[in-house]
Amino acid sequence: MTAKKTEFKKNLVAYSFIAPNFIGFAIFTLVPMVFAFILAFLDWDGSPYNPMHFVGFKNFANLASDDQFLAAFKNTIVYTVETVPLTLIMALILAVLLNQKIKGRDFFRTVCFFPYVASMVAVAAVWNMLFNPGMGPVNEILRGFGVQNPPGWSADKDWAMTTIVQFSVWKYMGYYMILYLAGLQGINPELYEAANLDGCNGWQRFWNVTIPQLSATTFFVLVMLVIQCFKVYDVVYMITQAGPGTATLVMVYDIYNKAFVYSSFGSASAEAIVLFALVLIVTLIQFRGQRKTEA
Amino acid sequence: MQVVSTKQKIIRMIVYVLLVLCAAVMLLPFLWMLSASLKLDKDVFTFPVQWIPKHPRWANYHDIWTEIPLLTFVKNTVKLTVIVTLLQLFTSSFAAYAFAKLQFKGRNTLFLGYIATIAMPWQVYMVPQFVMMSKMGLNNTHLAIILLQAFSAFGVFMMKQFYTSIPTELCEAARVDGMTEYGIYFRIMLPLSKPALSTLTIFTFVNTWNDFLGPYIYLTREELKTIQIGLRMFITQYSQEYGLIMAASVVTLIPVLIVFLSLQQYFVQGIATSGLKG
**Residues in contact with A156: Cβ distance below 8 Å, sequence separation at least 6, in sequence order:** A133, A244
Provide the pLDDT for residue B3.
Answer: 57
Q: Is residue A115 part of a domain?
A: yes
Q: How many domains does chain A have?
A: 1
A279 closest CB neighbour out of B92, B119, B133? B119
What is the pTM assigned to this prediction?
A: 0.88
Q: Is B97 on the interface with A (CB under 8 A)?
A: yes
Out of A10, A117, A126, the one facing B256 most closely (by C-beta) is: A117
> Taking CB atoms and an 8 Å limit, are B12 and A102 in contact across chains?
yes
For residue A125, the chain B residues in CB contact (below 8 A) are 33, 231, 235, 245-246, 249
Which residues is B129 bridged to in the sheet?
none
Write phi, then psi, for B53 (nearest 5 degrees).
-60, 140
Please tell me whether residue B54 adopts helix, strand or coil conformation. Answer: coil
B123 and A255 in contact by Cβ < 8 A? Answer: yes
Which amino acid, one-letter code, is at B230? G
Considering only CB atoms, B104 lies closest to which of A11, A24, A30, namely A11
**Hey, which residues 221-250 in chain B have their CB within 8 Å of chain A?**
227-229, 231-232, 235, 242, 245-246, 249-250
- Closest to A164 in 3D by CA, of A229, A69, A217, A67: A229
From-to residues of CATH 1.10.3720.10 in chain B: 62-274
Interface test with A, best of B22, B73, B127 (most A CBs within 10 A): B127
Residue pLDDT, tens place only, A9-31:
888 888 999 999 999 999 998 99
Band (pLDDT 50/70/90 cuts) for residue A87 is very high
Closest CA to B275 of B135, B158, B164, B174: B158
Residues 6+ apart with CB under 8 A from B210: A117, A119, A120, B228, B256
**Min Cα separation B165/chain A (Å):** 19
Q: Is B128 on the interface with A (CB under 8 A)?
A: yes
Residue contact A233–B210, C-beta within 8 A: no
Q: Is residue A50 part of a domain?
A: no
Q: What is the CATH number of the domain that holds A263?
A: 1.10.3720.10
Alpha helices in B177-241 (DSSP H): 181-184, 190-192, 194-210, 213-218, 227-237
- In a domain, residue A40? The reply is no
Say whether residue B123 is in contact with chain A using an 8 A CB cutoff: yes
Among the partner residues A10, A117, A231, nearest to B121 by beta-carbon distance: A231
Which amino acid is located at B96 in the chain?
A
| Cα three-residue angle B19-B202-B164, rounded to 5 degrees | 105
Rounded Cα distance, A124 and B190, in Å:
39
User: Residues near B269 by Cβ (< 8 Å), separated by ≥ 6?
Assistant: B195, B199
In a domain, A44, yes or no: no
Shortest Cα–Cα distance, A11 to chain B (Å) = 5
Q: Residue A191: inside a domain, yes or no? A: yes
CA atoms within 13 A on the CB side of A237: 22
Per the CB < 8 Å rule, is B231 touching A125? Answer: yes
- Cα B160 from Cα B181, distance rounded (Å): 16
Rounded CA-CA distance B118/B173 in Å is: 34
Please name the member of A22, A97, A113 whose beta carbon is closest to the beta carbon of B18. A97
- Predicted local confidence at residue B274, as pLDDT: 59
Whole-angstrom distance, CA of residue A129 vs CA of residue A135: 8
Alpha-carbon distances of B222 from A15, B73, B211, B213, rounded to whole Å: 40, 9, 17, 16
pLDDT tens for chain B, 278 residues long, are 455 678 778 888 888 898 899 889 999 999 999 998 888 888 888 777 788 888 888 888 888 888 888 899 999 999 999 999 999 999 999 999 999 988 888 888 888 888 888 778 888 899 899 988 988 999 999 999 999 888 888 889 888 888 888 888 888 888 888 888 899 989 888 888 888 888 888 888 888 888 999 999 999 998 999 999 998 988 888 888 888 899 999 998 988 888 888 877 777 777 766 554 43
pLDDT computed for residue A232 by the predictor: 93
Q: Nearest 5°: phi and psi at A42?
A: -115, 155
| Residue B140: C-alpha distances to residues A30, B146, B208 (Å) | 22, 12, 17
Range of the domain at A149: 58-294
Pick the CATH number of B62-274 from 3.50.50.60, 3.90.1150.10, 1.10.3720.10, 1.10.260.40: 1.10.3720.10
Whole-angstrom CA distances from A35 to A31, A45, A264, B241 are 6, 15, 15, 44
Distance from CA of A243 to the nearest CA of B (A): 16
Most confident range (mean pLDDT) of A63-67, A205-209, A247-251 is A247-251
Instruction: Please give the average per-residue pLDDT across A78-102, as a whole number.
Output: 92
Chain B residue at shortest CA distance from A252 = B123
The answer to whether B271 and A178 are in contact (CB under 8 A) is: yes
Partners of residue B47 in chain A, C-beta under 8 Å: 135, 137, 140
**Cα(A35)–Cα(A30) distance, rounded to whole angstroms?**
9
Distance CA A9, CA B266 (A): 37
Give the ipTM: 0.84
Question: Min CA distance, B24 vs chain A (Å)?
Answer: 9
- Determine, yes or no, domain membership for A100: yes
Q: How far apart are the first and last CA of chain B?
A: 47
Q: Give the count of Cβ contacts less than 8 A between chain A and B.
A: 256
pLDDT at residue A90 greater than cutoff 90: yes
B54 Cβ partners below 8 Å, 6+ apart?
Answer: none
